[in-house]
Amino acid sequence: MLTEKEMERYDRQIRIFGVEGQEKLKKSKVAVVGVGGLGSPVAYYLAAAGVNLLLIDEQLPELSNLNRQILHWEEDLGKNPKPLSAKWKLERFNSSVKIETFAGKLTRENVKEVLKNVDVIVDCLDNFETRYLLDEFAHKSGIPLVHGAVEGLYGQVTTIIPGKTKSLRDIFPTPPKKKEKFPILGATAGVIGTIQAAEVVKLITGKGEVLANKLLIVDLMHNSFEVIDLED
């Protein structure tokens, strides 16, 4: 049941998804895995939409993060783990959403316990080792996984629905070699992260078409958006 305050706060999106859709968002819990360049806009816009969050990351903010990781500020550098840094801001942005945190690394031993009771998992990571772990867990548990990745002015998004789409490992059987540092414009992470957030909202409300068995490729350098059909 939405309060009068919530009806006013979410009025513009209730006009899209209806009261029932907003109630689904209010009851949902989404895991944002990686609270960096992608995780910041994902968490920001999901909190704005009224979604409860579980923020997962093992790192502390660094100065070189601040060109893109907008939930972390200079005062957080070297002090607060990214989930706690983000939680503080998000709770002041929207006090009606519940923000849980896990400041640590996901492993095969803890992934089931950490991700219990979530409705959607959002991959905001920068390595395929943990992505494959999320992909495997998502298929075992039947939980949708929204994948996003960025580099430079390029990015990609796809939504994995267990039993209905290819797995992340099927789509990317040979992962790219992990780079210690790679170029990235903050705006690229912002674009891809907001698309991921929109995918989550569509999954929860059941409205619209998600990128199931489709890979969206974004090229901001040359202003192109391409959707690749993965069923071919």
* 154-160 β-sheet, strand order: 99-103, 52-57, 29-33, 120-123, 145-151, 154-160, 214-219, 224-229
How many Cβ atoms sit within 10 Å of the Cβ of residue 67?
13
Q: What's the rounded Cα separation, in Å, for the pair 197 and 219? A: 19
Report the amino acid identity of residue 166: K
Q: Name the fold adopted by 4-229.
A: Rossmann fold (3.40.50)
Q: Which helix (H) or strand (E) holds 121?
A: strand 120-123
Report the predicted TM-score, pTM, of the whole model to 2 decimal places: 0.97
Burial 149-160 (b: 16+ CB within 10 A, else e): bbbebbbbbbbb
Strands 214-219 and 224-229: antiparallel
Give the tokens for residue 13. 């999106």
Q: How far apart are CA 20 and CA 26, in angstroms?
A: 10
Output the pLDDT for position 182: 87
Which pLDDT tens digits describe the chain residue by residue (232 residues)?
Answer: 999 999 999 999 999 999 999 999 999 999 999 999 999 999 999 999 999 999 999 999 999 999 999 999 999 998 999 999 999 999 999 999 999 999 999 999 999 999 999 999 999 999 999 999 999 999 999 999 999 999 999 999 999 999 999 999 999 998 877 777 889 999 999 999 999 999 999 999 999 999 999 999 999 999 999 999 998 6
Element of type H or E holding 8: helix 4-9
Residue with tokens 């990781």: 69
Residue 176's pLDDT is 79
Sorted by where each begins, the domain ranges of the chain are 4-229
